[in-house]
Structure formats: C-alpha cells, structure tokens
C-alpha cells in the first residue's frame, strides 16, 4: 500500500494560509488585550468590590472555567440571536474569546494581587495614594510581572482554542485548512501544515509576549 | 411540526452525556498510563528519552486539540485503518492527556527536594529504589490535586470530538438545536450539563490542594 | 600548605591496620570553570575524628560530598577502605555507600515514613535484613540516640534536634566505617545543638571514624584528633586542635579564627 503525500498542493494555497494566520493573530491580539483587561477588572472586583459583585464575578469565573470553549462559542453565535442579539462570526468569536480569557485571567491576576506584601499597601497609604492609584501604580505592575508566565500561557491556550472558531466560519487558520482540503482533498497534508504553523505561532507569540511584558507593562528587572 | 418538551431535550442530552463520560475516562486512564511510561523514561534517562519526551510534550501543548483530532481522524484513514470518530477521538485525547499529565507529574517529581534524593543515595539505595521508596511516594502526594484538576480539561476536551462527528454531549446539542430551533435553550442545557460534570471535579481538586498545604 | 602532623602521609609498607580508611590524593574538582578543590591530599586513619573548618566557599562541603560520591571529581584519586571510587560503576558506588554514611545540614528525613521506618528502610533494601531484625536494630539505634519512644512518630512531629538524631540513627543502621557530618548543627536552634553534639561525641568515644564540617569550634577543639583549615580549595593548615586553635600559623587562619570569636 503506497501512501502519497502532496504537500505542495497545500503550500500552493499559501495566500489562504496567510489570510488565516492574520486572522488568528488578529483575533488573539484583540482578545488578549480585552480579555486581560476584563480579568484585571474582575480581579480588582474580587479583592476590593462589594459582596454581591464578588459573588457575581465568582459565578462567572466558575461557569466559564467548567464549560468547554466550543459550547461557549456556540452559545454566543447560535444562542444569542434567538434572544435577539445577532452577531457576525468574527464578533461572536471575539466575544467568546474575551469572555473565556477574562475568566482565566481573573484567577491568574487575583493570585498575583493576593501575593502583594502587606508593606506595599502601608507604604502607599502613607504616601496618601487613594485606592485606585494604589491598585494601578503599586499593586498591579508587580502582580502582573509575577503572573506573566501564567498569563502568557493562557493567551497561547486561547490562541490555540481559536481553531474552533473556524466552525462558525470565522476565517482563521483552521478554516483556511478546511477550505484547502475541501478543494484538493489533501486533508492530512493540510492539517499537518496548519498544525505546524500553529506550533510556530505558539512559540513566536510566547517569545513576543515575554519581550512585550517587561518593556511596556511592568518594567524590566525593577520591582 | 413536532413540539419538543424540555424533558425531551434533556433526555437526549443525558443519553449523549454518557459518551462524554466514557470518552473522558478512557482518555484519562489511557493517557495516564502512557504519560507514566513517558515520565519513567525521562526520569531514568534512557538514551534519547529526554529529547523525545520534551518534543512530544511541546507538540501537544503547542498545537490546537482540534488539529490533533483532525490529524487522528484523517491520518488513521490514510493508513487504511477503519476509523470511526470514536476511535480517532479516543486516540487523540489519550495522547493529548498523556503529554499534559507527563508534564504535570514531572513538575511534581521536581518538587521533591534534592536532599531527599541525596539522603537516599547516601544510604546506598540504587536508582530504582530511590524512586520507588523515597521520591515517588512524595511526588504522588503532590500530584493528586493537579491530576484531578486536569480531568476537568479532559472532559472539556471531549466536546471537540463533536467536530469530527462523534456523538457526545455537544454534538447532540447541535443536532437537537437543528431539530428544535431553540439554540438558546439547548446550548444552555448543554453548558449546564458540562458544568454539573466539571464543577464537582474542580471543587474536589481544590479541596485536595488545600489538604496538601495544610499538612505541611 | 602548612602541615604540622607527621601522620598525614602513611608510612611505606604499612600493615593492614595502618592503611587509611579514607585515602585522598591530589583531588581536584571544578564546577564548570570554577575550580573548587585544587589538589587535596588527605589520609584518614580508622577511628580518627577530623574537623574541617573554613570560610564558606572554601570547598569543605564539596570535599565531604566527594567522599561518598554525591559530587564527581575530575582528577586525583579517592579510596575508602582500600576501594577506589568509581563513579560510573553503580555496583561499586552501592558498595561504597554502605561503608560511608552521611548526615546532612537539613536532616533530609523521609517525611512519608515514620521514624522507625526511616531507620529500617535502607538495611531492608540494601542489606536484605529481615523486617523483624531491622525493627529490632532500629529500636536499638533510636535508644542509642535517646529517642527510643519515638519509633512510631512522624518526622514532622519532631524538633530539629530530634530529627537530626534520627538521621544519625538512620546512617548508623548501615554500619558505616566512616561518618560524614556536613554542618549538622548549622540549621538547628541554639538550644537544640547540644543534644546532637552529645550523640556525636559518644560516637567519637566509641571509635567511629568521623569527618565533620563544622562551625562549632568549641566542639571541634574538644572532640577532634585533627583539625583541617581549608582556604580557597586547598588544605591550608592541618594539625591537632590545640595547635591549630592555639597557635595559628598563617594569617588566613588567624583572620578566620578572629572573625568567628
């Protein structure tokens, strides 16, 4: 039994693959920014907010972390329109990814905030900073630095998870692979190449985030 | 048009949920066995094992589970194996689980202080005795909470098997939605069922984690 | 190196009883590019108690750890009881470690085993001692270190001093010819140090060969036959305690002694 592979047939469709990569990265970038922002807000709410808000955030976090992303995505894209909210595939994908990342980021950032030494709060108070200023300038940067590896890993997980968004016709990388194999029937080759690209993206994005974080968010070796 | 009651929907989802549970258990147990083998190979420093296992883990952690499922499905078909979605899903999820569990357990072994290895060596224990009587008992205790926690990831992972056609909870949800035109209700029920499966496991893992730290 | 002890090198044609139990010649060890032991020569007679002192970084612990193979040395020779140390020979190392015991600064008791089982584990596995014989011996040894009633206790229920005494009993269970003590009281609260030192002193009185890296100068002075001062990877001064502590010859030793008193 001879198995013939034809990788060139897939690679010839590189514009489609590139388009998919661009969308995957774009979705990830937007979701990372909004998702981490949401996570920080939730972490703040959980440590500083009123009791009822803490409960709401807690319920949100547990709900998201104990259900599969694909179900969340289908709920947003198929379920919400039935309740009156119509969404494009791309919007639905971003919303689902942001909501998903937000829940995980909330837990990760909360762990970082909880590890803030008591003395930092005391120093900030004696410098007459208010609660918001203390949080943004004193507590958050070292907390983010501490949990940056975990946060980076979670962003990578969300990026890899975005492969599912192709199922609702978001034109990211897995959608491109699906499209290619439906045209030339080279399913295995298409998915191998897409998988390889995802691996490179994962490595690349991790490196990028490790470079980006210290530079722009929490300051190199200080703190 | 046939009217579907809530009970009809739930009943069908519950029937499909059996397959979610079955697939999760197979992947978890199978993955655990494979992962254990990989771990031993890595710790015992068999030639080439370190690089192979590191690459294996990097591969499964750095690529989407969906792609792994597709590759299992189309790959097995290429080699002439008669694949159903069930077999491909079981294979892909087992390998996926083995990579993650191997990595989790490796961290647990690394968490056993170096002094324990040295004390065992100084008492003339050979490598397998050091592992069996001193290091693994301690590593296992550390490993229980994260291993149970990973079961949640496996259960959630089975949902992707729906994409290659395996009829588990998510696929049943899609099919029922197509029949009833009530996606909001159906997917809410699907989410609720996953929640009922996963949440107790998450709580157990957290309780085990607390118990571990209290004893120290 | 200033040597005052003529017994440092064994006489030629020495009889079996005169053969050093630990024979180290020109030992060199590096960590990467950093040479930590720069040619150590040391012969230890049976029953001798040797205290090794020096600043941190002088190579004291590394030397000790070379003797039971926890550290691998690059050149020179090391023999225990006439047997040379062969790192890549697992059987030889296993044999060696039955003759050399080690007590660690951080005790390293096995937390998942009771005190009694900690002591019984190695003889059972390595010397194939039966569990009844092993238990009897363990109880005997625990009584020896003053902890007879703690046989079924767990390590985390004991104080530091008690844990270290269990560690000593555990090492003694293997009937070693030499005991290596790597700063065994450094991690103890001051009031617990005495109980451990008393056990060590009794071992010395019974004729156990001891090599101790220690900061307890008073103890070293009292108990040891020979004191070795190490400095920057070399044996800098060596001699009986009264001489080394009373009349330090080199400025480095003088400086060291004044810095710790």
CA-angle at C71, arms to C259 and B104, nearest 5°: 110
Cβ-contact C231, C202 below 8 angstroms: no
Distance (Å, rounded) from C-alpha C93 to C-alpha C85?
Answer: 7
For chain B, say whether A81 makes contact (Cβ under 8 Å): yes
Q: Tens-digit pLDDT profile for chain C (261 aa)?
A: 454 545 544 444 444 456 889 999 999 999 999 999 999 999 999 999 999 999 988 899 999 999 999 999 999 999 998 888 888 888 899 999 999 999 999 999 999 999 999 999 999 999 999 999 999 999 999 999 999 999 999 999 999 999 999 999 999 999 999 999 999 999 999 999 999 999 999 999 999 999 999 999 999 999 999 999 999 999 999 999 999 999 989 999 999 998 886
Identify the CATH number of the domain defined by range C2-8+17-109+178-260.
3.40.50.300
Q: What is the pLDDT of residues B67-111, one digit of tens each?
A: 999 999 988 888 777 778 999 999 999 999 999 999 999 999 999
CA dihedral A124, A129, A135, A141 (to 10 degrees): -60
A and B make contact (3+ CB pairs below 8 Å): yes
Selected residue of A84, A174, A191 to mutate for chain B interface (largest B Cβ count, 10 A): A191
The structural domains of chain C, with segments of one domain joined by +, span: 2-8+17-109+178-260
Its ipTM equals 0.91
For chain A, say whether B191 makes contact (Cβ under 8 Å): yes
First to last CA, chain C: 23
Identify the segments of chain B with pLDDT beneath 70: 1-3, 215-216
* Subunit contact B67:A163, Cβ cutoff 8 A: yes
Query: Closest partner residue to C122 among B125, B137, B141, by Cβ?
Result: B125
Instruction: Please give the residue of chain C at the shortest CA–CA distance from B132.
Output: C125
* Subunit contact B191:A72, Cβ cutoff 8 A: yes
Give 10-residue mean pLDDT values along chain A (223 residues). 75 90 96 96 90 95 97 94 87 96 96 89 87 87 90 96 95 94 88 95 94 74 48
β-bridge pairing C49-54 and C226-231 = parallel
Cβ-contact B125, B134 below 8 angstroms: yes
A7-217: CATH topology: MetI-like fold (1.10.3720)
The structural domains of chain A, with segments of one domain joined by +, span: 7-217
> Which domains are delineated in chain B?
6-215 (1.10.3720.10)
**What is the pLDDT at residue B215?**
63
Hey, which residues 210-229 in chain C have their CB within 8 Å of chain B? none
The HSE-up count of residue B113 (CA atoms within 13 Å, CB side) is: 9
- B119: chain C residues, CB-CB within 8 Å: 102, 104, 108-110, 167
All residues at 6 or more sequence positions from B147 whose CB lies less than 8 Å from its CB, including other chains: B32, B101, B104, B105
**What is the pLDDT at residue C15?**
40
**What is the pLDDT at residue C14?**
40
All residues at 6 or more sequence positions from C134 whose CB lies less than 8 Å from its CB, including other chains: C120, C123, C124, C173
């Amino acid at each position: 039994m001879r198995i013939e592979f034809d990788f060139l047939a897939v690679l010839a469709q590189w514009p489609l693959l590139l388009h998919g990569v661009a969308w995957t990265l774009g979705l990830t970038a937007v979701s990372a920014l909004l998702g981490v922002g949401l996570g920080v807000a939730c972490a703040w709410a959980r440590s500083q907010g009123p009791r009822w808000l803490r409960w709401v955030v807690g319920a949100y976090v547990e709900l998201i972390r104990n259900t599969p992303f694909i179900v969340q995505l289908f709920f947003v894209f198929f379920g919400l329109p039935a309740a009156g909210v119509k969404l494009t595939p791309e919007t639905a994908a971003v919303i689902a990814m942001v909501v998903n990342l937000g829940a995980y980021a909330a837990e990760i950032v909360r762990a970082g905030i909880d590890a803030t030494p008591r003395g930092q709060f005391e120093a900030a108070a004696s410098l007459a900073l208010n609660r918001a200023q203390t949080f943004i300038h004193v507590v958050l940067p070292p907390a983010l630095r501490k949990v940056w590896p975990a946060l980076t890993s979670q962003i990578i997980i969300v990026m890899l998870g975005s492969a599912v968004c192709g199922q609702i016709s978001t034109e990211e990388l897995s959608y491109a692979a699906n499209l290619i194999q439906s045209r030339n029937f080279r399913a295995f080759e298409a998915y191998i190449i897409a998988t390889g690209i995802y691996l490179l993206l994962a490595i690349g994005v991790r490196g990028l985030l490790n470079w980006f974080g210290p530079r722009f968010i929490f300051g190199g070796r200080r703190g | 048009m046939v009217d579907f009651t809530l009970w009809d929907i739930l009943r069908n989802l519950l029937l499909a949920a059996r397959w979610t549970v079955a697939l999760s258990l197979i992947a978890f147990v199978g993955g655990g066995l494979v992962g254990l083998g990989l771990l031993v190979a890595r710790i015992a420093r068999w030639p080439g094992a370190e690089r192979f296992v590191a690459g294996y883990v990097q591969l499964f952690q750095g690529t989407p589970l969906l792609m792994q499922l597709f590759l299992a499905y189309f790959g097995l078909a290429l080699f002439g194996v008669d694949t159903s979605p069930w077999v491909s899903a079981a294979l892909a999820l087992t390998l996926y689980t083995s990579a993650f569990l191997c990595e989790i357990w490796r961290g647990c072994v690394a968490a056993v202080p170096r002094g324990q290895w040295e004390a065992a060596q100084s008492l003339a224990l050979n490598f397998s005795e050091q592992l069996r009587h001193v290091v693994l008992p301690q590593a296992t205790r550390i490993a229980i909470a994260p291993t149970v926690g990973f079961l949640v990831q496996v259960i959630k992972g089975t949902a992707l098997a729906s994409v290659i056609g395996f009829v588990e909870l998510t696929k049943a949800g899609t099919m029922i939605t197509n029949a009833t035109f009530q996606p909001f209700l159906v997917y809410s029920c699907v989410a609720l069922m996953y929640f009922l499966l996963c949440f107790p496991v998450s709580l157990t893992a957290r309780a085990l984690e607390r118990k571990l730290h209290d004893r120290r | 190196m200033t040597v005052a002890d003529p017994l440092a090198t064994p006489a030629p044609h020495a009889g079996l009883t005169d053969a050093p139990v630990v024979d180290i010649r020109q030992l060199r060890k590096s960590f990467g590019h950093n040479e930590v032991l720069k040619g150590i020569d040391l012969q230890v007679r049976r029953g001798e108690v040797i205290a090794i002192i020096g600043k941190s970084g002088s190579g004291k612990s590394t030397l000790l750890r070379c003797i039971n193979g926890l550290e691998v040395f690059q050149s020179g020779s090391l023999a225990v009881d006439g047997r040379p140390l062969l790192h890549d020979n697992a059987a030889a190392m296993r044999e060696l470690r039955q003759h050399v015991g080690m007590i660690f600064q951080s005790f390293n008791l096995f937390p998942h085993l009771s005190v009694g089982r900690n002591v019984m584990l190695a003889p059972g596995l390595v010397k194939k001692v039966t569990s009844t014989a092993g238990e009897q011996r363990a109880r005997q040894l625990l009584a020896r270190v003053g902890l007879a009633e703690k046989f079924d206790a767990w390590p985390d229920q004991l104080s530091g001093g008690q844990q270290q005494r269990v560690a000593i009993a555990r090492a003694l269970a293997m009937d070693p010819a030499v005991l290596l003590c790597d700063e065994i009281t450094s991690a103890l609260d001051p009031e617990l140090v005495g109980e451990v030192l008393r056990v060590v002193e009794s071992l010395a009185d019974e004729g156990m060969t001891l090599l101790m890296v220690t900061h307890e100068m008073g103890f070293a002075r009292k108990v040891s036959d020979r004191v070795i001062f190490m400095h920057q990877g070399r044996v800098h001064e060596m001699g009986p305690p009264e001489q080394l502590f009373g009349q330090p010859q080199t400025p480095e030793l003088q400086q060291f002694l004044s810095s710790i008193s």
